[in-house]
Amino acid sequence: MTNNSIPLILFAAATMLMLPKIALAQHEDKDQFIDIQTVLSTLKYDIKYYSNDNFVGTRINGYQAEKCFIDKRAIADLKKASDALNQQGFRFKFFDCYRPERAVAHFMHWAKDLTDQKTKTQYYPNIDKDTLVGPYIAERSGHSKGFTVDLTIEKLQNGKWTEVDMGSAFDLFDEKSHTLSPLISKQQQQSRLFLRDHLAQHGFKNYSLEWWHYTYNKVPKSQASEAYDFVVK
């Protein structure tokens, strides 16, 4: 070993010590997660952040495949919820599940750039972009802990799966997307309540401002406090 190589080694060691806990955990704890489609028998993936079809308008950092991971401690109840839906002629359609911390950082970078308004008409037509952080975009997302899913349901009709009309699109940041919104029809409200009540029976709690957002609440918060940053691939 030459003397010139010693500073490089010291720099690398110092860099490892400065890495955030989430970056170190990604190599050790990915085994705690499972790809939902390996367990659920019938479902649909429409992973929005793997595509350009989302409120940022581009693929989000950390999404390298159209997959949906969840903490293994939630999968049994999610399967029960899915199986019960299947028996009634429905299936889950997933928009997002586990979300890397780098994706959350991507969202925050976009949210702070108030000059970028290209998706306003489609995703936040009635509110200002500088109000999105907090109610709709979180600086630290529960998705990164592996217990939160964004989803809707599809119904089998005449041999084809058709998405149930919930009254607003996924990630529409608007009062219309609140689970109990006065801006939607009675049938649309009933469909939201059907989804909410069904998932509640299996331990998933809805976030009231987003009808599609559910978090598994049977694992104590003290055991679900870690956030992860491994890439979805």
Return the closest-CA partner of residue 19 out of 93, 101, 135, 90: 101
Over residues 43-50, mean pLDDT = 98
CA separation for the pair 141, 152 (Å, rounded): 20
> Contact at 8 Å (CB) between 171 and 55?
yes
Q: How are beta strands 90-96 and 160-163 bridged, if at all? A: unpaired
Position 231 in a domain: no
- For residue 27, what are the domain limits? 5-223
Position 173 in a domain: yes
User: Across the chain, what does the average pLDDT equal?
Assistant: 90
CA separation for the pair 24, 229 (Å, rounded): 9
The rounded percent of the chain whose pLDDT value lies above 90 is 83
Q: What residue has token string 């955030």? A: 20
The answer to whether the Cα torsion of 69, 72, 74, 75 is positive or negative is positive
Catalytic sites, residue numbers: 210
Read off the pTM: 0.87
pLDDT computed for residue 29 by the predictor: 62
Domain count, the chain: 1
Over residues 181-206, mean pLDDT = 98
* pLDDT > 90? residue 175: yes
Position 46 in a domain: yes
Q: Which is more confident, 3 or 182? A: 182
Position 39 in a domain: yes
pLDDT computed for residue 221 by the predictor: 84
Over residues 99-118, mean pLDDT = 98
* pLDDT > 70? residue 40: yes
The answer to whether the Cα torsion of 178, 200, 232, 102 is positive or negative is positive
Q: Which is more confident, 58 or 29? A: 58
Position 233 in a domain: no
CATH number at residue 98: 3.30.1380.10
DSSP structure class, residue 51:
S
Position 119 in a domain: yes
Q: What is the pLDDT of residues 200-215, one digit of tens each?
A: 999 999 999 999 999 9
Position 44 in a domain: yes
Position 230 in a domain: no
Over residues 123-142, mean pLDDT = 96
DSSP structure class, residue 133:
B
CA separation for the pair 175, 210 (Å, rounded): 9
Q: What is the pLDDT of residues 8-27, one digit of tens each?
A: 333 333 333 333 343 434 43
pLDDT computed for residue 212 by the predictor: 98
